[in-house]
């Protein structure tokens, strides 16, 4: 079950000024304060205390937990798991709010005089506090395709919790909270030999599996692609003797789907394919419902297909979340430079990399700012006024916030340029955006992710950049742990990883040159061209005429239909539509 909630802490005797639900309210009293917990459940069962763990064993202390927390006895915060936790402690005169290492579950807060509001829903937070729209937050959400470069959100006078943080609020006070970073991710560079590091990663991975997977005695459902991340989780489930059900959606004729089938066969998983073809109805994507419940449209295919796993008795779900960012390592966009670095790695081994220089920090900053510049250049014309001008006029301010955030990350320790970019991508692109995929699975059961284990994360994020470059270390680990899975081709490489880095790179480049790359599992543009899917998708944009310019939308979709543009674009068009829905006043009350 997934629960949208709004927790409001008020001085005793004060009532909720703007209730957001008609009936689903839990009220708890503490000395000097009252806590209101308003909830909306998916699926709806009219039980306000479902979906949250509420502990009120001490009259002066109330503990509310969202998600799946795995206590780390005696080792401090944060715990492992996927969670947000709020502790209202009247004896200490404070509220303590903290989350997991990666902040996987969205959580926002706002202060108003002596009131504190905490919510996992932008809409509920806006309604409960009668809060307006943060225009720079809106601009950044558009410019960066669904995320912002800070904790700024689209709600004025509110913010998102940063990953791995604790916030301490003085009860009844409007003073900003004291924020403390709890996690030690991306703070140093570990100096150890490659083999020692591989041994340590394997040990930490197996410890994570013991913590996250071993207690489960029912089938585990896995969102299974042909890539490495879900392959690692599939191998882990098989190694721990778990019953695994792997769901793969997409073009069933594609190479990647066939590879996923091979992974399922090797791991003994029950394989559930779901075709994205002419028989897949447009309406199954449920744009309106997914936005209403989860406030995302990334990735709509997850919500559409998760019921296929529950039909096979699955109540625990897993994915390969975070591994591409924290374990895959950085790689150069320039093909020649990427090839040369991989050849150097293969012949001479990993290279030492020192703390980022000023020039390297500037290069990271410019690369991230370039994302916003490119999107403004290509897509701002889709918008109606005043949003079109808002986006273009806000670009300098958004770029300043990028620079400030990169500087803040760089100051956290003697870390490399690659680590700066990794942390930025993890805490902004992924935390604000792509990890909302996992949120959709909570509607169907418990989400268990060994890839986000706290101790494993603290190690992986502090490894040398040269050793991790372009998945080189990842390939070593999967060869050690799951050699049969390493022998199965990886779609974006066109070859398996049970060979040297030199062989892998030469085959990859050779296939690119001969235009023989394997076909991917989902081609959204191709599917949209089937039947009247494109017309239905276009209609969704035209209906949001408060945000989009109708003539520009029609011209865009004509270009798509004629093959001049594509819409399988990293989720950009669904991200734009999601933002339009979040700003739609008619949807605010849902």
* DSSP conformation letters of 498-536: SS-HHHHHHHHHHHHHTT-PPPPS--HHHHHTSTTHHHH
The per-residue pLDDT for 568 is 63
| φ, ψ dihedrals at 520, nearest 5° | -85, 165
Q: Which residues pair with 313 in a beta bridge?
A: none
Q: How far is CA 126 from CA 109, 253, 402, in A?
A: 10, 45, 25
Residues with Cβ within 8 Å of 569's Cβ and at least 6 positions away in sequence, in order, are: none
Averages of pLDDT over runs of 10 residues in the chain (590 residues) are: 94 94 87 96 68 95 96 85 98 98 96 96 97 98 94 98 98 97 97 97 98 96 95 97 96 94 98 94 93 90 93 96 92 88 88 94 98 96 98 98 98 96 94 83 93 96 95 97 97 92 87 80 83 96 98 95 77 92 91
* DSSP conformation letters of 402-417: HHHHHHHHHTTSS--H
The per-residue pLDDT for 46 is 60
Which two three-digit tokens encode residue 360? 């390297």
- All domains of the chain in start order, with CATH: 2-181 (3.60.20.10), 185-355+413-590 (3.40.50.620)
Q: Which residues pair with 237 in a beta bridge?
A: none
The per-residue pLDDT for 436 is 82
- Residue 329 falls in which region: left (phi positive, over 0), alpha (psi -120 to 50) or beta: left
Query: In this structure, are residues 429 and 421 in contact, taking their beta carbons and an 8 Å threshold?
Result: no
Distance between CA atoms of residues 231 and 404, nearest Å: 37
Q: Which residues pair with 317 in a beta bridge?
A: 221, 447
Please count the other Cβ atoms lying within 10 Å of the Cβ belonging to residue 454.
Answer: 26
Residues with Cβ within 8 Å of 372's Cβ and at least 6 positions away in sequence, in order, are: 140, 143, 144, 395, 398, 399, 402
Each residue of 492-534: pLDDT tens digit? 888 999 998 889 988 888 887 777 788 888 778 888 889 999 9
120-149 exposure pattern, b = at least 16 Cβ within 10 A, e = fewer: bbbbbbbbbbebeebbbbbbbbbbbbbbbb
Q: Which helix (H) or strand (E) holds 35?
A: strand 33-42
With a pLDDT cut of 90, the percent of the chain lying above it is 79
- Residue 37 falls in which region: left (phi positive, over 0), alpha (psi -120 to 50) or beta: beta
Query: In this structure, are residues 301 and 276 in contact, taking their beta carbons and an 8 Å threshold?
Result: yes
């Amino acid at each position: 079950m997934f629960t949208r909630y709004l927790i409001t802490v008020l001085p005793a005797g004060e009532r909720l000024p703007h209730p957001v639900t008609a009936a689903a309210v839990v009220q708890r009293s503490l000395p000097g304060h009252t806590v209101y917990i308003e909830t909306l459940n998916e699926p709806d069962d009219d039980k306000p205390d479902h979906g949250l763990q509420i502990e009120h064993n001490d009259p002066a202390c109330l503990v509310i937990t969202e998600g799946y927390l795995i206590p780390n006895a005696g080792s401090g915060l944060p715990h492992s798991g996927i969670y947000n936790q709020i502790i209202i402690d009247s004896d200490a005169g404070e509220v303590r709010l903290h989350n997991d290492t990666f902040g996987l579950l969205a959580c926002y807060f706002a202060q108003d005089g002596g009131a504190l509001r905490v919510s996992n829903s932008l809409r509920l937070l806006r309604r409960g506090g009668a809060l307006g729209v943060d225009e720079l937050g809106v601009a950044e959400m558009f410019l960066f395709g669904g995320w912002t470069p800070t904790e700024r959100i689209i709600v004025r006078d509110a913010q998102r919790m940063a990953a791995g943080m604790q916030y301490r609020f003085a009860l009844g006070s409007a003073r900003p909270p004291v924020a403390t970073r709890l996690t030690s991710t991306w703070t140093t560079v570990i100096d150890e030999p490659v083999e020692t590091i591989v041994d340590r990663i394997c040990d930490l991975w197996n410890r994570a599996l013991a913590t996250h997977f071993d207690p489960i005695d029912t089938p585990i459902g896995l969102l299974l692609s042909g890539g490495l991340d879900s392959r690692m989780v599939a191998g882990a489930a098989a190694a721990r003797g778990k019953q695994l059900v792997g769901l793969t959606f997409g073009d069933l004729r594609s190479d990647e789907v066939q590879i996923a089938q091979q992974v399922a066969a090797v791991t003994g998983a029950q394989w559930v394919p779901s075709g994205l073809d002419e028989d897949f109805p447009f309406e199954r994507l449920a744009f309106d419902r997914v936005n209403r419940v989860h406030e995302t449209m990334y990735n709509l295919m997850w919500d559409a297909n998760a019921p296929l796993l529950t039909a096979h008795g699955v109540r625990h779900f897993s994915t390969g979340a975070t591994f591409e960012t924290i374990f895959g390592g950085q790689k150069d966009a320039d093909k020649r430079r990427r090839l040369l670095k991989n050849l150097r790695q293969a012949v001479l081994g990993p290279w030492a990399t020192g703390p980022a220089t000023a020039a390297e920090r500037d290069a990271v900053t410019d690369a991230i700012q370039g994302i916003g510049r490119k999107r403004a250049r290509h897509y701002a014309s889709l918008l109606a006024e005043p949003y079109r001008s808002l986006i273009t006029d806000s670009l300098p301010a958004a770029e300043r916030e990028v620079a400030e955030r990169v500087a803040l990350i760089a100051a956290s320790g003697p870390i490399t340029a690659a680590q700066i970019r990794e942390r930025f991508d993890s805490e902004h692109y992924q935390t604000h955006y792509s990890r909302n995929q996992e949120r959709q699975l909570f509607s169907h059961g418990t989400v268990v992710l060994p890839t986000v284990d706290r101790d494993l994360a603290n190690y992986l994020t502090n490894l040398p950049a040269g050793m991790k470059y372009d998945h080189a270390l990842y390939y070593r680990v999967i060869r050690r742990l799951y050699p049969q899975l390493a022998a199965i081709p990886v779609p974006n490489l066109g070859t398996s990883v049970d060979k040297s880095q030199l062989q892998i790179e030469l085959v990859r480049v050779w296939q690119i040159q001969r235009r023989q790359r394997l076909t991917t599992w989902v081609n959204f543009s191709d599917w949209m061209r089937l039947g009247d899917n494109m017309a239905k998708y276009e209609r969704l944009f035209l209906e949001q005429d408060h945000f989009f310019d109708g003539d520009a939308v029609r011209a865009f979709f004509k270009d798509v239909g004629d093959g001049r543009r594509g819409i399988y674009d990293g989720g950009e068009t669904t991200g734009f539509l999601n933002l339009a829905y979040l700003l739609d006043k008619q949807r605010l009350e849902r």
